[in-house]
Amino acid sequence: MMNREEEKLQQDAERAVREAQNIGSMELNEATRRGIGQGKKRASRRRATYGTGAVTVAAVAIIAWSSSLMPGVGSSGGESAPRVVTAASPQAQAPVKQAASERLSSKDFYAVGMDANVARIIEDGYMSAVNQKISKDGYTLTVLGEAMDNRKMFVAFSVKNETNQAARVSQSEVNFGSNVPSEWLSRMGTDDQLKPGMTGTYIVEIGLAPDEEYPKDATFRMGMTPGEFGKPAGAEVVIDLPFQAHPQELMDDIETVQVNQEMTVSGQKIQVKNLEFSPLGIYLDYAENEANTKRLFSLIEPKLKLKDKAGTKIENPRFIGKVYDQDTLIFEGAKIEDPSSIALSVAGISAIDPEKTRLIVNTDTGKVIQGIEGLTAVADPAKNQLIFERTAGDYSQYDQINADAFMLEDTFTDASGVQHKLTNPRGQREDRDGKMVESATIGLGEGTRTQPVEFQIRSLWNPILEAAELQIK
C-alpha cells in the first residue's frame, strides 16, 4: 500500500502546468511536484495531469542554487508571539542576522532545484541549522536545517545511498507527536532516484495549522525504496530522526495586518480578513459572505501591490498558490520597509450556483442524473472506478495557466445515506482540437453502493472575469 506522499506523487501535480511554458530552460524535476511540468505536445494536443493535493501553485520559478548564496541559521529563543497591527500600520520584517559560525555551507544547496521563494528564505538567513544524521540499512539521512512560521515549515535534508542498488526517496514528513497536525505539501531538490554512492539534497514543505502551538521536539521520517518509481525492487526502509525544531524563531518577524474589508466581484462579496507578513511568505485570509448566491472556488489572478513611504518602491510579490479548505492565498515574501500602501486586485472569480456543485450519478452504469453542463461519466466495473469528462470551453493559454482543476470532495454518499471514500483520484486536462477537456478518474472504494450516489464538486473552472481592487491601506 502506498503512503500518502507516494499517492500524491503518483497523482502528480494538482493544478496542471501553471506557466511551465514561461520558465524556459530552467530544469524542472519530479520532486517539485506542485503542479509544474512541461506540457507535452503530441500533434495538436496539449495535456497536463493533476491530483487532489492541499495546495495549488502559481508560476513557481525553479532555480539552481548558486554558491554565492549562503544560508544562515538562528538559535531557539524564548517564547514570543507575532505582532498584530491594523491596516493603517503594517511593518515589514528584516532578515535575521545569524552568526557566521552557525551557518550552513552553501555547498549543501549547490545545483539543488528549488522554488525561488525557498531560495530567498535560505539566502536571507531564515533557515535554522540542525545538522543531525542517522544511518540505517545502507542509507544515511542528514537533517540539515529547518525554517517554520505558524503556517508552514521547510526542512532541508540529504540522503546518501550506500547500498549496491538504485533507490528513491519515497516519503519525507515531519511528526510533532500524536494529535499535532502536520501535512506533507511538496518536495523539491535533486533527482529522487539515487544510484549507489549518490547523495541527494532536498527541501520538503510541510503544512501547519495556524492556531496550533508546536513543540520543539519533532521527528523527521524518510523512506527509501529500492527500484524505480512505481517499480519497487524491495521493501521500503523507513528512517526516523528526532530533532529540535524552532517554532518560536521567526515569531518576532511576523506581522498580522487586520483588514476586515469587503471586495465585491459580480455581486459576490469577499471579506478580506487579514494579511500576515512572514519571512516565509505573505498569507492573505479571506472568506465568502454567507449571503452570496454563488459557490466561490477561487480568485482569478490575485495580485498584491505594496508601496514604501516615499512611493518610489513598488513590489508585486509573486502569487504562489492557495491553501484548499482554508481560503488562504500565499504570496512570496517582499523586501519593503513599512509599506504605506497595500492593494489587492483580482481579474475575477471562478464560481457557480451552489446547486450545481451536486453530481448525482449511477456508478454502475455511468449515467449522469444531475450534473454541470458538458459533464459525462464512464463506469469501469473491472477497476471499480468512474471516469468523468468535461469540456470546459475553448482552450486558451490564459485558462491553462489560471484554471482551477476539476476535483471532487474526498467522500460521496449513496442513496441509503452511507458515506464512501474516494481512492486514488487523479485528473488530466488537455487541448483537444481547440477545446479544453478535463477528466477525473476516481476509485470508488470498497463495499456495495445503493444507486444513485451523490458527489460534491470541490474545485471547478467557471470564470467570471470582472476586475476588482481593494485598497487595504
Give the HSE-up count for residue 395: Cα atoms under 13 Å, Cβ half-sphere: 16
pLDDT, tens only, 415-467: 999 999 999 898 999 999 999 999 999 999 988 999 999 999 999 999 999 99
Decide which of 50 and 424 is more confident: 424
Is 361 within the bounds of a domain?
A: no
Is 114 within the bounds of a domain?
A: yes
Judged by average pLDDT, the poorest of 21-30, 96-105, 115-124, 131-140 is 21-30
pLDDT band at 108 (very low <50, low <70, confident <90, very high): low
For 299-310, the DSSP string reads EES-EEEEE-TT
Is 413 within the bounds of a domain?
A: no
**Over 90: is that where the pLDDT of 120 sits?**
no
- The pLDDT score that the predictor gives to residue 51 is 44
- pLDDT above 90: percentage of residues in the chain: 60
pLDDT band at 167 (very low <50, low <70, confident <90, very high): very high
Neighbours of 271 (CB within 10 A): 15
Question: Does 323 lie in the same domain as 274?
Answer: yes
Question: Does 279 lie in the same domain as 240?
Answer: no
Give the total number of structural domains in the chain: 2
- The pLDDT score that the predictor gives to residue 310 is 78
Is 391 within the bounds of a domain?
A: no
Is 171 within the bounds of a domain?
A: yes
- The pLDDT score that the predictor gives to residue 107 is 52
Question: Does 105 lie in the same domain as 217?
Answer: yes
Closest CA to 11 of 28, 35, 29, 42: 35
Question: Does 274 lie in the same domain as 225?
Answer: no
**Over 50: is that where the pLDDT of 8 sits?**
no
Question: Exposed e or buried b for every residue in 390-424, given b needs 16+ CB within 10 A?
Answer: bebeebeeebbbbbbbbbbeeebebeeeeebebee
- The pLDDT score that the predictor gives to residue 11 is 40
- The pLDDT score that the predictor gives to residue 37 is 26
- The pLDDT score that the predictor gives to residue 386 is 97
Report the DSSP beta bridge partners of residue 155.
146, 204
Domain final position from 203, 233, 249: 249
**Residue carrying C-alpha cell 496542471:** 16
Question: Does 288 lie in the same domain as 222?
Answer: no
CATH of the domain at 134: 2.60.40.10
Question: Does 286 lie in the same domain as 193?
Answer: no
- pLDDT above 70: percentage of residues in the chain: 76
The chain-wide mean pLDDT, for the chain, equals 80
Residue 211 CA to residue 151 CA, distance in Å, equals 9
pLDDT, tens only, 237-296: 999 999 999 999 999 999 999 999 999 999 999 999 999 999 999 999 999 999 999 999
Question: Does 292 lie in the same domain as 236?
Answer: no
- The pLDDT score that the predictor gives to residue 302 is 96
pLDDT band at 67 (very low <50, low <70, confident <90, very high): very low
- The pLDDT score that the predictor gives to residue 111 is 62
Question: Does 326 lie in the same domain as 197?
Answer: no
pLDDT, tens only, 368-384: 999 999 999 999 999 99
Residue 89 CA to residue 91 CA, distance in Å, equals 7
Report the DSSP beta bridge partners of residue 169.
224
Asked whether the beta carbons of 248 and 76 are under 8 A apart, the reply is yes
Provide the pairing of β-strand 83-86 with 255-265. parallel
Decide which of 51 and 110 is more confident: 110
- The pLDDT score that the predictor gives to residue 312 is 77
Q: In degrees rounded to 5, what are phi and psi of residue 285?
A: -100, 135
Question: Does 226 lie in the same domain as 269?
Answer: no
Question: Does 289 lie in the same domain as 224?
Answer: no
Is 363 within the bounds of a domain?
A: no
Residue 37 CA to residue 42 CA, distance in Å, equals 15
Decide which of 229 and 69 is more confident: 229
**In the numeric block, which cell numbers belong to residue 335?**
523586501
For 356-422, the DSSP string reads GGEEEEETTTTEEEE--TTEEEEEETTTTEEEEEEEEEE--HHHHHHPPP-EE-SEEEETTS-EEE-
Asked whether the beta carbons of 214 and 194 are under 8 A apart, the reply is no
pLDDT, tens only, 391-421: 999 999 999 889 999 999 999 999 999 999 9
Domain final position from 196, 221, 249: 249
Question: Does 171 lie in the same domain as 229?
Answer: yes
Asked whether the beta carbons of 245 and 216 are under 8 A apart, the reply is yes
pLDDT (mean) for 84-107? 43
**Over 80: is that where the pLDDT of 62 sits?**
no
pLDDT, tens only, 178-223: 999 999 988 998 888 899 999 999 999 999 999 899 999 999 999 9
**Over 90: is that where the pLDDT of 308 sits?**
no
- The pLDDT score that the predictor gives to residue 9 is 45
Domain with 135 in it: 67-75+100-249
Is 86 within the bounds of a domain?
A: no
Q: Which pTM was predicted? A: 0.77
Is 268 within the bounds of a domain?
A: yes
pLDDT (mean) for 55-74? 36
**In the numeric block, which cell numbers belong to residue 81?**
508571539
Question: Does 333 lie in the same domain as 245?
Answer: no
Domain final position from 214, 249, 284: 249
